[in-house]
Structure 1
Amino acid sequence: MAIPMVLGIVSPPSLDLTAASLLVLISLAILGFLELSGIHLKYSKFFNASSSSSISSKVPSRVGMFLLYTPAFLVGVASFWLFPDGDLRFLFLKSAITIHFFKRIFEVGFIHKYSGEMALDKLIIISFSYFFLSLSLIYTQTLNQGFPEPSIDLMYPGLVLFLVGICSNFYHHYLLSKLRTKGGKDYKIPKGGLFELVICPHYLFEILGFLGISLISQTLYSFSVTLGCAVYLGCRSYVTRRWYISKFDDFPKDTRAIIPYVF
């Protein structure tokens, strides 16, 4: 059976994989449109933790964020033991996913400043989503082992793009952390880096990092994840800009949401 190769994307012919790719894209897009409609993820700045049901158990925000990312990180670590064989592309993919979630855990421990609490029920749902994302990206790549390489090899450009994305995302998270004093709950207009042009450069580089992962993987599923994340983060950045405009009279109106000079 012929292997479909379109723009360097190669995947074994599978209705299940095609359906899974479409499902993850639609799911992430729905989350984005929910953000636009005012329904936000429960660790968002737009969500008032005090509005959570008093019945729901809560944990400190820093502990909650550790619990969000740790299962996905452990999937990446375990993949080196569970799938010790594989080609260089698979090694780069496992490494990128593991590094991505390790960076998030590192930022929780040493970069970000937190106040308040997180609802445990919502934490479990979001943590499982990250866990499934990490697991599915790695598992779908195992299905490509033994198939011919794509006609257009984008693995090394993807690796470079991933490193640029993750380092730049870290830098802008660092700038955000400097805005808030320890224990403080106030927000300020971010400055420095690409914050002079867009209000969410960390989202922009998050998307570039996922695009790098997709170029490393070169599967339909990984590109669907990246496109879905781009839609979600694009919607979230639009809402973030709208929030800053409503809170700060001196917010620079020429600062875009996520793409300099464009959007």
Structure 2
Amino acid sequence: MSTTYIFPQLSSLFVTSMSVISFTILAVYGFLELREKHLHYSKFWNSGSKTFAVKEIKLSSRTGMLITYTPAFLAAVASFVIYPQEDIRMLLLSSALTIHFLKRILEVLFVHKYSGGMILDSAVIISLSYGVCTASVTYAQSLTKGLPEPSIDLKYLGCLLFILGISGNFYHHCLLSRMRRLQGDKEYKIPKGGLFGIIICPHYLFEIIGFVGLALISQTLYGFSFTTGSALYLIARSYVTRRWYVSKFEDFPKNVKALIPYVL
């Protein structure tokens, strides 16, 4: 039944192992978010944690985020050279990954306004995660060459979801940025506009939609494993974000959910 939606199980120990490892790591980080053991960036900088050790190196948020996204972007670009692009699915996947991380880098440089910093350790951890996952998903895709296609072709639906996800994510990132007219403005406010009136993390919702699009373009076990793990992490992150806003703002609207309108 699985071959209806995904390529036949690959005989690669590396891909199978990475599918399990990627899902597990992302799910664990989601669980740690719920336990208030956060990666140190954004509004959760130093939240719920004790004083940092002197040896930890603090970066500006912009520098930390560039470290986070640049290796994955380079891995996505490299996939055009490393793997033959005769296969349309591989071309679409490499293109989507490149666009995804290029968008993130451009947002870091020209859209986001920052209020805190980022610990070097957190930047390296996230950077390795994105870089390894990007390299793994393209490698897994390259191994499907010559295998029977899934019975139901989802790659074009995946493209539509990817475009919807990346567009909605960008739009809500712009709304967040406009809340801070000046680069030095460090005051947090309750976001407004777009879907912020019904959920506090629409940018995470659209990010999940974009990841689902990538999984449907790929239609490999690794693609679905990474997407599921990422969704679990972002669900936890959105829940903790809502909890943070409720604790900081007495007038936070009770009807505004974390991630899924009217539900969660």
TM-score category, normalised to shorter length? over 0.9
Q: Is the 8 A contact 1:169 1:205 kept in 2?
A: yes
Partner of 1:60: 60
* Alignment partner of 1:150 is 2:147: no
Distance 1:84 1:153 in 2: 21
Partner of 2:204: 203
Among candidates 6, 17, 24, match of residue 9 of structure 1: 6
Q: Is the 8 A contact 2:90 2:142 kept in 1?
A: yes
Q: Is the 8 A contact 2:41 2:116 kept in 1?
A: no
Distance 2:125 2:158 in 1: 30
Gap runs ≥5 in structure 2: none
Give the SS at the match of 2:190. Answer: coil
TM-score, length basis structure 2: 0.93
User: Offset at 1:252?
Assistant: 0.5
Partner of 1:238: 239
Distance 2:140 2:10 in 1: 12
Give the SS at the match of 1:9. Answer: coil
* Alignment partner of 1:41 is 2:39: yes
Task: Report 1:1-263 matches (<5 A).
Answer: 5-14=2-11, 16=13, 17-48=15-46, 51-180=51-180, 181-263=182-264
Residue deviations 1:123-144 (CA, integer Å, cap 9, x gap): 2222111111111111111111
Q: CA RMSD in A?
A: 1.7
Residue deviations 1:161-184 (CA, integer Å, cap 9, x gap): 000000100000000111123211
Give the SS at the match of 1:72. Answer: helix
Number of equivalent positions? 260
Partner AA of 1:21 in structure 2: S
Distance 1:223 1:75 in 2: 19
Q: Is the 8 A contact 1:137 1:222 kept in 2?
A: yes
Q: Is the 8 A contact 2:42 2:117 kept in 1?
A: no
Distance 1:7 1:173 in 2: 36
Residue deviations 1:73-109 (CA, integer Å, cap 9, x gap): 0111111111133400000000011111000000000
User: Offset at 1:26?
Assistant: 1.6
User: Offset at 1:58?
Assistant: 2.8
Percent identity between the two aligned chains? 57
Q: Is the 8 A contact 1:12 1:143 kept in 2?
A: no
Q: Is the 8 A contact 1:40 1:46 kept in 2?
A: yes
Q: Is the 8 A contact 2:23 2:226 kept in 1?
A: yes
Partner AA of 1:20 in structure 2: M
Q: Is the 8 A contact 1:12 1:147 kept in 2?
A: no
Distance 2:139 2:122 in 1: 26
Q: Which moved more, 1:17-26 or 1:129-138?
A: 17-26
Q: Which moved more, 1:160-169 or 1:118-127?
A: 118-127
Residue deviations 1:40-98 (CA, integer Å, cap 9, x gap): 01114112299332222333221121111011001111111111334000000000111
Q: Is the 8 A contact 2:45 2:117 kept in 1?
A: no
Distance 1:23 1:11 in 2: 20
Distance 1:7 1:261 in 2: 33
Distance 1:7 1:187, change over 3 A: farther
Partner AA of 2:227 in structure 1: T
Partner AA of 1:11 in structure 2: P
Q: Is the 8 A contact 1:5 1:151 kept in 2?
A: no
